[in-house]
Amino acid sequence: MRAATTGRQQHAAAADDDVLDLVLSHEREIGRLLSAIDEHEQMLAVELRPALASRRDEIARASERLAGLREHEASRARVQALTSSWSWRATAPARRLYEWYLAVAARPKGHRP
């Protein structure tokens, strides 16, 4: 009977060794993964976050320029609509006469062309 008990004890000891090897293997794998995570976090903090902030600033500046261009185009379209209207063409002689009057009024007294 003692032989059977010794066999069971040897089997249990071997199983304990296998479990210990498995736990140690998992511990090494966990350590490797944690190290890789740390490297990725450092790269993220040092390289990627500043690059992302820079790109966001570029997008903000480009959006501002685009808004300015759209506003400029809208103003240009309004001016084009105004200057191509019938009333603008009809009042053109009066505007030229007024411009002439302003030029004459701005000359010093006694000065003739």
pLDDT in tens, 64-83: 999 999 999 999 999 999 88
* Residue 111 lies inside a defined structural domain of this protein: no
* Residue 43 lies inside a defined structural domain of this protein: yes
* Residue 99 lies inside a defined structural domain of this protein: yes
* Residue 53 lies inside a defined structural domain of this protein: yes
Containing domain of residue 60, as a range? 2-106
* Residue 35 lies inside a defined structural domain of this protein: yes
The residue ranges of the chain whose pLDDT is under 50 are none
- CA-CA distance, 76 to 71, in Å (whole number)? 9
Report pLDDT for 18: 81
Whole-model pTM? 0.47
- CA-CA distance, 107 to 113, in Å (whole number)? 10
Q: How many domains does the chain have?
A: 1
